[in-house]
Every structure is written in C-alpha cells, then in structure tokens.
Chains A and B, each alone.
Chain A
C-alpha cells in the first residue's frame, strides 16, 4: 500500500503519499481512555455534546473536524486543562485505566502527570534545553543530578533530538529552530513518563520537513504511549493515526479505523468533510 516518492532535493527525505497499511492488531488493542457522555459548556455555550468513545491504548487516535467543532476542547478534557477556564463546566466521565479523572477527590496534578500534552505552538520555557526537559521531574521532587541527566538523555533520544543538542544542553531552548523546539516540548512531556500523550495540532506552525520529523516521531512513540492528536491536516491524520474521530458542531459524527474512514466513510457528513466540500 505504501508508495514512497524520492524527494529530488534531499535523497534522505521520503514523502509518504499513501495511507499506511491498517494495523492488523488494531481491533485487539486495549482501551486506554474511556469517555462516557462527556458534555462541556463555557457558560451558556454548550460546546461538547454527549461524547462517548474508547481510545485504544498504545495507538494513535486523530481528532479531526472543522474549526470550532470542539476537538481541541475534547483533547483538553483528557488532562483537565479546561479546569483553568473559570466558566467551563464538564459532566460525564473520562476513565483512564478504570479511574474516572472527573471523579470526586481526583488529584488533578497527578492526572496531568499521567497525561502529557504538546501544544499547537511550541512553548519552551526561556531556560536551558536541559532545564526544560527536566522541569516536570524537578517540580515532581527529583533532585538527584544523575537521575535528571539520565532522564534528559532518554527523553531527548525518544524525541529524536538528542543527537542535535547533546553538545549544548545548557544553551537556551529559544536558540533552537521551530521544529526542534516542538520536539523539545515533546521530550519535556515524556520526561515525566506519562501513559498518554495529547497533541494539539503539533505541526501547524512547522514547515513540511519539520512536520515530517514530528510525524515519524509520533509513529515511533506509539509503542510506548497512547497518543491522541488533534489535526487540521487530513493527510496527517491519514498518515499517523490508527483510528480517526470526526467531530462536527460539538458532536462525534464518526469514529473508526482510519483507513476505512478515509476510503469508505459511513456518514455523508464525514465524506463531505474529507473530500473537502466544507471545512
């Protein structure tokens, strides 16, 4: 299924134009996140309507849909980031390994350590590369220098950034390029060893080559993490995800295996969207 084109400028870069073959194991994956009747409103504005879906563990799930359809809002429900917005009200349940993160007495900070997040625009702290990567560990109480160094190397390696920065860990994170900064943010998120990684349009501010690197990274990270990615780029959803969920006006319209959904959507609305008739 996979046809690869040689890019003429740089023989090292391959541009994938077709879908990856469907994961044969997709059907048998365990449930990583279980959403039931999730509703969210900002004041009087009802943004999410009765979202119920099961996110597969150690797979990539893409959330797609036109702007304002609630996909980013849903993503931010998964680590309770919407708590920061005063007027947001959430009902329903989001279970991670059986634990409802909206249940009474939930430690939100512990939840956020289990569920890492990468944002639309890279947002490194104005500190050194090293200090950025170990920030989460430091605020978690890790003080031991060797432990921090080991964690930094491991996370940067997983984020495919180690070779580029190993000689200048004390340099400012802001001296990195945009794509490197985004990979640094991924390294920073995985340094605290979360189970789930949320990505909110992680490539929207990047050039095609940096985007390609991040996509490769996402592909390799799913061995370890359950990944949920919001994207505006349908080709990206097709390239990186195992399952895709299509949202429209705050409702989940269709959710299924990515290759099926892109070749043979069940809903007319989905078909119209992925063929570019609106959005």
Chain B
C-alpha cells in the first residue's frame, strides 16, 4: 500500500511537473557546463600567473591576487558566494536574473579549483621540458603554450572531468538565489503536495543519471586525449 502510494505520487509529480523538471535539467547542465568551460579558460591564465618563475613587480601583484582569489573562493561555500554576488551586484545596479548570477558564481568558483588542478598538472611536467623549449629559443609564454600546457592539461584531465561532475551536484545550492535547477524544480513540485521524500527521490535519480552518464563520457574523452598511442616506457 505504502509502495503503491509512493510510486503513485512519483508518477503524479513527474507527469504534472515534467516541463519544470526538464527545464531544471537543462539549467543544471548549462550551469555545470558553462561553469567548467569558463572556469577552465580562466584557470589556464591564473595557473600561468601562479606558476611563472621570473616575474617583475606586476607579476608579483598578479600572483598575489590569484593566491588570494584561490584561498578565499576555496575557503568559503558556494552558497554564500552566490548570495553575496547576487545581491551585492544588484545593489551596485546590475540588474541580473538568478540564472546569470548563478552562471557567474559557478564560473568564479570553478576557476579557483581548476587553477589549483592545473598548477598541479604543470608541476607534474618535468622541468626539462620547459628548459628544452627555452633552449631552442621559445619565449617563456610559447614554451608554456606549446609544450608544457598540452602535457599539463592531459595530466589533469581526470580532475577537470571530476570538477564537472561535482558542479552538476553542487549547482543545487544556487536555489538560494532562486535558480530553478533540478533540485529546486523537484522541491517546488514536492512542496505542493507535501511529498518531499518522493520529490527528492526523483531529484536523486536524475542527478545520478546525469553524473553516471557524464563520468562515462568523460572516461571516453580522457582515453582519447590521454594517450593517442599506448605508452611503452623504455628502460631509459
């Protein structure tokens, strides 16, 4: 009896709220995809600043900025960041909708994490690679661009993919500024009939499908980018 009631409610919520839930799925995917891509692009720049060795006064200031940025963003919850960004920008006269503020927040957040991921990736590349590039006359920037980064990104692929999966789940906190993503869409449906458990079970299953599918696709991508040729390490 209980079970038929449970599944009955699930069916009812899905059929009544299918449009909102589908929209929620779209927003969650949009938020995590844009967040990861934008975060990755900015993180490429930030990790370059962070790992650059020979720097002048400007470089030192930039490095200080990046270090502070990473420390603050990684040390505070994204939910708090979302609220601060959303309302402080509104106070400054930026009239943005919750989704845009959400995209901004998740990008800012992901940038901090991926900066650290890429820094690790860069440090995992043997220093001889950079030195050899410099020795044939490449500038520091070209050496990083053509030699070090391709290897650093390859080494970091698993962690970058992981960040995307984390984003799928963690963007649920953006409900605090009113973004209607998967969690919020399901919650609203559940609240109507006081059926929170049923609604959250729907949300859980949707999240699970999204994360499993993503991790499967990322594995494939990783294999492709990771090693075009099966690596055989020689004794030398």
A complexed with B: no
Query: B residues bordering A, Cβ < 8 Å?
Result: none
Query: A residues bordering B, Cβ < 8 Å?
Result: none
